[in-house]
């Protein structure tokens, strides 16, 4: 480890310029060769011994024709590396559904596994597009609330008497209840007592 010299910084800039050129060539040739892949990054090792081109694709693809083109263009060793959808998002940047920059770009260093079970716990539609990183960070809170949340149709005790659960509001940690006189109130979970089953 040492401080970068002026020569190092000059080489770094040359590498960046060459990376951009290679990136454009890779994208253009991918279209021309009709290879079903998306080029998302091109990175030169500092010593210029290897160019790493990162791409995304549905399943495995035959990228040998592209390798030959890139070797001719760079005059050196080229490695193609396939990554998943979340890695593509991290490399290309973007805005999430929340309106903020993607968490994987801003601060996430390691991707946790997002399963269908996590989406179900949060009552979200089950789809590959819906399995996002943020679900992991909200999962434990939803899991704890779901343990406390009465089921729809369950009879509970409230400060105003017995009532039936009609809606559970997980984020607000409240429930809506209906009384025998058809009154409907929204109450905090702390104000609701679940009836314990009798034991013989």
User: Would you state the structure tokens that stand for residue 194, as one six-digit string?
Assistant: 């679940």
pLDDT band at 175 (very low <50, low <70, confident <90, very high): very high
For every residue of 60-106, DSSP letters joined together read ----HHHHHHHHHHHSSEEEEEE--HHHHHHHH--B-TTSSBPHHHH
pLDDT one-digit tens code per residue, 6-47:
998 999 999 999 999 999 999 999 999 999 999 999 999 988
pLDDT over 50 at 200, yes or no:
no
Please write the tens of the pLDDT for every residue from 77-125: 999 999 887 777 778 777 877 787 877 777 777 776 776 777 776 666 6
Q: Per-residue pLDDT tens for 36-88? A: 999 999 999 988 889 999 999 988 888 888 988 899 888 889 999 998 877 77
Which of the pair, 178 or 138, is modelled with greater confidence?
178
How far apart are the C-alpha atoms of 172 and 186, rounded to whole Å? 10
For the chain, give the DSSP string: --PPPHHHHHHHHHHHHHHHHHHHHHHHHHHHTT---EEEEEEE-TTSSEEEEEEE-SS----HHHHHHHHHHHSSEEEEEE--HHHHHHHH--B-TTSSBPHHHHT--SPPP--HHHHHHTT----TTT--THHHHHHHHHHHHHHHSPPTT-EEEETTEEEEEEEEETTTTEEEEE-TT--EEEEEGGG-EEPPPP--
pLDDT reported for residue 131: 58
Structural domains for the chain: 6-83 (3.30.300), 101-146 (no CATH), 150-194 (2.30.30.140)
pLDDT higher than threshold 50 for residue 168: yes
Kindly report, residue by residue over 130-157, the tens digit of the pLDDT: 556 677 777 777 788 888 888 889 999 9
What is the predicted pLDDT for the residue at 199? 44
């Amino acid at each position: 480890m040492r401080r970068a010299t002026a020569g190092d910084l000059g080489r770094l800039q040359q590498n960046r310029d060459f990376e951009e050129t290679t990136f454009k060539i890779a994208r253009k040739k991918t279209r021309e060769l009709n290879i079903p892949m998306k080029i998302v990054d091109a990175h030169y090792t500092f010593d210029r011994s290897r160019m790493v081109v990162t791409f995304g694709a549905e399943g495995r693809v035959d990228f040998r024709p592209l390798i030959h083109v890139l070797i001719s263009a760079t005059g050196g060793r080229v490695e193609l590396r396939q990554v998943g959808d979340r890695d593509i998002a991290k490399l290309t940047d973007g805005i999430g559904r929340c309106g903020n920059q993607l968490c994987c770009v801003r601060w996430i260093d390691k991707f946790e596994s997002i399963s269908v079970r996590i989406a179900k716990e949060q009552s979200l539609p089950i789809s590959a597009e819906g399995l996002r990183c943020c679900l992991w960070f909200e999962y434990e809170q939803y899991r704890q609330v779901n343990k406390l949340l009465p089921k729809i149709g369950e009879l509970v005790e409230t400060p105003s008497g017995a009532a039936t659960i009609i809606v559970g509001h997980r984020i607000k940690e409240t429930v809506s209840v209906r009384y025998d006189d058809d009154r409907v109130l929204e109450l905090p979970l702390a104000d609701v007592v679940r009836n314990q089953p009798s034991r013989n």
